[in-house]
Amino acid sequence: MAGPRPVRAPRGNQSSARGWQQEAALRMLQNNLDPEVAEHPDKLVVYGGTGKAARDWDSFDAMVRTLTTLGPDETMLVQSGRPVGVMQTHEWAPRVLIANSNLVGDWATWEEFRRLEALGLTMYGQMTAGSWIYIGTQGILQGTYETFAAVAAKLSRENRHSGGTLAGTITLTAGLGGMGGAQPLAVTMNDGVALCIECDPSRIERRLAHGYLDAQADSLEHALRLATEARDARRPLSVGVLGNAAELVPELLAAGAPIDIVTDQTSAHDPLAYLPLGVDFADMAAYAAEKPADFTVRARESMARHVEAMVGFQDAGAEVFDYGNSIRGEAKLAGYARAFDFPGFVPAYIRPLFSEGKGPFRWAALSGDPKDIAATDRAVLDLFPGNESLARWIRLAGERVQFQGLPARICWLGYGERDRAGERFNDMVASGELAAPLVIGRDHLDCGSVASPYRETEAMRDGSDAIADWPLLNAMVNVASGASWVSLHHGGGVGMGRSLHAGQVTVADGTALAGEKIRRVLTNDPGMGVIRHVDAGYERAEEIAAERGVRVPMRENAESGPA
């Protein structure tokens, strides 16, 4: 069948491909486009407004056809969503190698990307869209949950709020798309109140249907009333309100709204995905397509107003942070001088975790059976009994997270933990405790896989924010270690010219070979985060490397060699 059509990954333990490594890639490609998962599946867009799983439907069909015939010693090469070749390799090599949106430095602009995209030569892969490991909004939920937990801890340490949770606070944010849709649930899981602005009514409806959002207000005044009532009762609540953030955030500031925390996760990384002031949402797509340059100018001017209001809340005493969508950079391009007065979330809250090799570890059940995820949840709790934060997350996720597409789970694990979990999962497949194999991957937003000066590598201690060798090394290490598929992308959630990032997925199919690959990949991949932060001078990373035997040549004694 040519052209757009509903796509859903097969379930069960019967493979249509020549092996589970290939079948896993096939099912995860299809799962990314499941209507439960993707934002605009008919356009092959998974999330972020433009992040695609395949360049076009002909390319999608060719990838599906190739994956079903791919041998156990062959590798399919994917160039920006288009399969361009199959090479004979070996059983330890990845079955798929993916490169998305990569342009030479001087050409890495939105204008040049769009010119090439219009010629059918490239696509925007975002992070987990074009690498076939998006698992719905849960994929960003756990990291968002961790971030808001860190915000609560900071406010408590600074005596700006008590209790160690977000109870009794109101968080103002905007954007309820594939990434931002995690924010309301992450806030309420931390016991707080979230007031969320969104310009697309379908996104509000989707978050309500999936349980990520509790209520929709009739107006901004109604939303603020609901939020303050819940805050005063110390009752978790998330409220969505339809409108343009560039208009409503300044209105709330001018009204003296009692906001404690402010962030944003609109699709600001791409100016054509941000609604300018004075434009109706219904007219947005046509305007962006017909007059992209004019639209971009107006969108950036609107972002500048949005960011100016965020700075205003910070001046008034609120905790304000950028959640990684490049809105500060776009506001600066529009001429707003104070755009970077508030920090990004990684240097503000997450970098200590990165120094320990911690980051988002995710897995999906190819069986389609939620019981497989329940069993792996129990296994994680058994493996790490002393980690109460992890246990709380696993319990809350089991109670409150609705699966989208194939059942999946995510949690943050570090160096020395991911390999243990992966090997346990592989043993569970081998023993028949799980109905079918699992895929194990992560977000590209990880401790050692990305160079992104406006997000993951902002304000590195040694000034190495823009050094892009690290994601390249990460991708090569994962290829050498035996990952099932490996990807290297440009742009991601912050936009063209602003990020390089790598991803890996490894399949637990119950075989001894899979176990060996898992051990290496899930040790070396987070190990990249440890050595990257050792190299940048972070003491905690140096401690972890010394404690856990991570070899760092520049730290070894010339006489004694490795410890």
Mean pLDDT by 10 residues, the chain (563 residues): 90 96 98 95 92 97 98 98 98 98 96 96 96 92 90 90 90 91 94 97 94 96 98 97 98 97 93 96 96 96 98 97 92 97 92 93 97 98 93 92 95 96 98 98 93 94 97 98 98 93 98 98 97 96 95 79 55
Nearest to 455 by CA among 271, 289, 293, 263: 263
> What distance in Å separates the CA atoms of residue 230 and residue 368, rounded to the nearest whole number?
37
> What distance in Å separates the CA atoms of residue 397 and residue 154, rounded to the nearest whole number?
24
* End-to-end Cα distance, the chain: 59
> What distance in Å separates the CA atoms of residue 264 and residue 171, rounded to the nearest whole number?
10
Task: For 234-303, give the secondary structure using H, E and C.
Answer: CCCEEEEEECCHHHHHHHHHHCCCCCCEECCCCCCCCHHHCCCCCCCHHHHHHHHHHCHHHHHHHHHHHH
Q: Is 199 a catalytic residue?
A: no
Query: Please, how many CA atoms are within 13 Å of residue 66, restricted to the half-sphere of its CB?
Result: 21
Write the pLDDT tens digit of every residue in 390-437: 998 999 999 989 999 999 999 999 999 999 999 999 999 999 999 999
Q: Which of 196, 199, 411, 447 is catalytic?
A: 411
> What is the structure's pLDDT at 284?
97
> What distance in Å separates the CA atoms of residue 126 and residue 101, rounded to the nearest whole number?
9
Number of residues assigned to the chain: 563
Q: Residues of 101-122 as b/e, b for ≥16 C-beta within 10 angstroms?
A: bebeeeebebebbbebbeeeeb
Q: Are the C-beta atoms of residues 169 and 193 closer than 8 Å to each other? A: yes
> What is the structure's pLDDT at 559?
46
Q: Are the C-beta atoms of residues 38 and 31 closer than 8 Å to each other? A: no
Following DSSP, what letter does each residue of 145-172 receive, concatenated? Answer: HHHHHHHHHHHHHTTSS-SSS-TT-EEE
**Which helix (H) or strand (E) is 76 found in, with range?**
strand 74-79
Tell me, yes or no, if the pTM score tops 0.85.
Answer: yes
> What is the structure's pLDDT at 379?
98
Write the pLDDT tens digit of every residue in 108-151: 999 999 999 999 999 999 999 999 999 998 888 888 998 999 99
Would you call 493 helix, strand, or coil by DSSP? coil
> What distance in Å separates the CA atoms of residue 192 and residue 164, rounded to the nearest whole number?
11
> What distance in Å separates the CA atoms of residue 32 and residue 487, rounded to the nearest whole number?
15
